[in-house]
Structure 1
Amino acid sequence: MTTILVTGGTGTLGRLVTERLRLQGHEVRVLSRHAQPYAVDLREGTGLDAAVAGVDTVVHCASSPRGGDEQAARNLIAAAREAGVPHLLYISIVGVDRVPMGYYRSKLAVEKLIEESGLGWTVLRTTQFHDLVATVFGALAKSPVLLYPAGVSDQPIAVAEVADRLAELAVAAPAGRVADLGGPEVRTFRELAQAYLRATGRRRPLVPLRLAGAAYRGFRAGGHLTPERAVGQGTFEEFLAERFGSKAEATR
């Protein structure tokens, strides 16, 4: 039986990875700031040594757009080295090396720390989750007019499919940078917004908004997309149908 530590194990992705690995019969330790017995703030590192002791693989899902990922990774790598952990698996984002946005830069920096750690490592990049896209539209739809970034498309993927792939990689040998995992289709933000409004029964005028800055240019250029790796199966409409029920259209 393999012992696996999942950081961020109570989050949207980490919870599903944990479920899959336990169903396969592995011993899984869940690490988050509040999950006992491994309640650890990775940015501080207190208690981390006990969490990684005897672990065969660390699946590093913990991340925050509010900052601290690099320090968290340094602490995790140091503890994993000390414990002799054979494999560190990290989930990253397609385009972290092409879209100059702060959070993406941080994810790329963590990738490099892992690559240079001296540990056996695997990095998987995926496109954005359906859940995130729906959350963004939920916030934007609170206004009478739904503004969306002009000229930008997305390629959302089902988080369950990402969890399946991570669970597969967690019990395999370290593989370095593996092939990206992208959603089944590239869609414009307008199309995605229309699908969200239909699914939630809302009516909002859709207004494209041109933004400024290098990050917006990177998104307009499709730096966060991987159409050649459109291997996901679940569509955004299928996700919406499951989330919101009969209002959503299962197919376009």
Structure 2
Amino acid sequence: MVDRILVTGGTGALGRLVVGRLREQGHDVRVLSRRSGAGTHVGDLRTGEGISEAAAGIDVIVHAASDVRRWGGPDIAHTENLLRVARGVEQLLYVSIVGIDRIPFRYYRNKLACEQRIIDSGVPHTILRATQFHELLGSVLQTVEGWPVAPLPLDFRFQPVAAADVARRIAELVKSGPVGRAPDFGGPEVQTLAQLAEVWRAARQRPRRVFRIPVPGKIGRAFRAGENTCPDHVHDGQTWAQFVASDPANAYRRTARHR
């Protein structure tokens, strides 16, 4: 069965992979973008302009857009505007983050508020929480490579996952229909940032020196405890070492271009 699917954030690092995966499965995919020519349909989640036209006749919406640069503050209004045109869709799939209900991080609180808006809307939905992407952690290490000394919260725990593996899971959930809160989706291994950085340094000889910076408060304790991980939901896929052995610098450049 061919579904008509609208993807928000479809020009981003994850969204492009989701769009590609869905099109490989034969779906009719629309990509919403504020910029003319970047997607298939021009629309602005901030104002709601153009969204109704983009969503006309749509079966499924994949909501992968997020304003990271402003800590997700606009995301709540974006989600509310999208929900106004989602009446009648078979499923709205929202891409979220593992641990947002346990870590009092500003961006996470806004993501959690978006989840609640979707739950309260009555729109058939799936909420998929994933752990941090290889590409995100790679971008951090890429940024500090040239520094004489790289200060990092080395005792933070992560369960990095490839964006491509998350895109594959999203495509599976689109096919299976709305399930409410889907099982969390994490990468193959839980490791400290010190372990992740050591793999990076062994492969790239940079950064030359790292040292641990203490992060006080509830946020620091949560990341040290691994509240952003889901060890009970480990999924096969690309490991961190495999990602680093590929071309993480190029992956970082692609991610930066499509933020």
Query: What's the TM-score once normalised by structure 2's chain length?
Result: 0.90
SS at match of 2:100: coil
Residues 142 and 44 (structure 1), Cα distance of their counterparts in 2 relative to 1, 3 Å cut: farther
Match of 1:249 in 2: none
| Contact 2:6–2:32 (8 Å) recurs in 1 | yes
Report the identity percentage.
47
Corresponding residue number in structure 2 for 1:179: 183
Q: Distance in 1 between matches of 2:151 and 2:39?
A: 41
Q: Is the 8 A contact 2:100 2:108 kept in 1?
A: yes
From the superposition, tell whether residues 191 and 139 of structure 1 become closer, same or farther in structure 2 (CA, over 3 Å). Answer: same
Structure 2 SS opposite 1:123: strand
Q: Structure 1 residues 37 and 28 mapped into 2: Cα distance closer, same or farther (>3 Å)? A: closer
Count of residue pairs the alignment pairs up: 243
Instruction: Identify the residue that residue 223 of structure 2 maps to in structure 1.
Output: 219
Q: Is 1:106 aligned to 2:107, yes or no? A: no
* Whole-angstrom CA distance in 1 between matches of 2:66 and 2:207: 34
Correspondence for 1:140: 144
Distance apart, 1:22 and its partner CA: 0.8
**In 2, distance between residues paired with 1:243 and 1:184?**
19
For residues 149 and 159 of structure 1, do their structure 2 counterparts lie closer, same or farther at Cα, with a shift above 3 Å needed? same
* Matching residue of 1:5: 6
Kindly indicate whether residue 63 of structure 2 is the aligned counterpart of residue 60 of structure 1. Answer: yes
1:224-243 mapped onto 2 (5 Å cutoff): 224-243=228-247
The 2-side partners of 1:207 and 1:16 are apart by 34
Superposition map of 1:1-252 within 5 A: 1-34=2-35, 35-65=38-68, 66=70, 67-81=73-87, 84-244=88-248
Give the unaligned 5+ runs of structure 1: 246-252
Task: State the secondary structure of the residue aligned to 1:171.
Answer: helix
Which blocks of at least 5 consecutive residues in structure 2 are unaligned? 250-259
1:70 match: secondary structure: helix
Tell whether the 8 Å contact from 2:134 to 2:162 is kept in structure 1 after alignment.
yes
- 1:76 partner letter: L
- 1:142-165 deviations in whole A, cap 9, x for unaligned? 321111114211110011110001
Cα RMSD after superposing both structures: 1.4
Tell me the distance in 2 between the aligned counterparts of 1:25 and 1:101: 38
Q: How far apart are the structure 2 equivalents of 1:76 and 1:203? A: 42
Distance 1:20 1:26 in 2: 9
Alpha-carbon distance in 2 for matches of 1:162, 1:76: 22
Tell me which amino acid in the other structure corresponds to 2:226.
Answer: G
Change in 2 beyond 3 A, CA 1:186/1:44: same
One-letter code aligned to 1:39: V
Q: Determine the C-alpha separation between the residues in 1 that align with 2:57 and 2:207.
A: 54
Q: Is the 8 A contact 1:52 1:85 kept in 2?
A: no
| 1:202-230, Cα deviation, whole Å (9 max, x unpaired) | 25112011012321121112110111111
Q: Structure 2: how far apart are the matches of 1:47 and 1:148?
A: 42
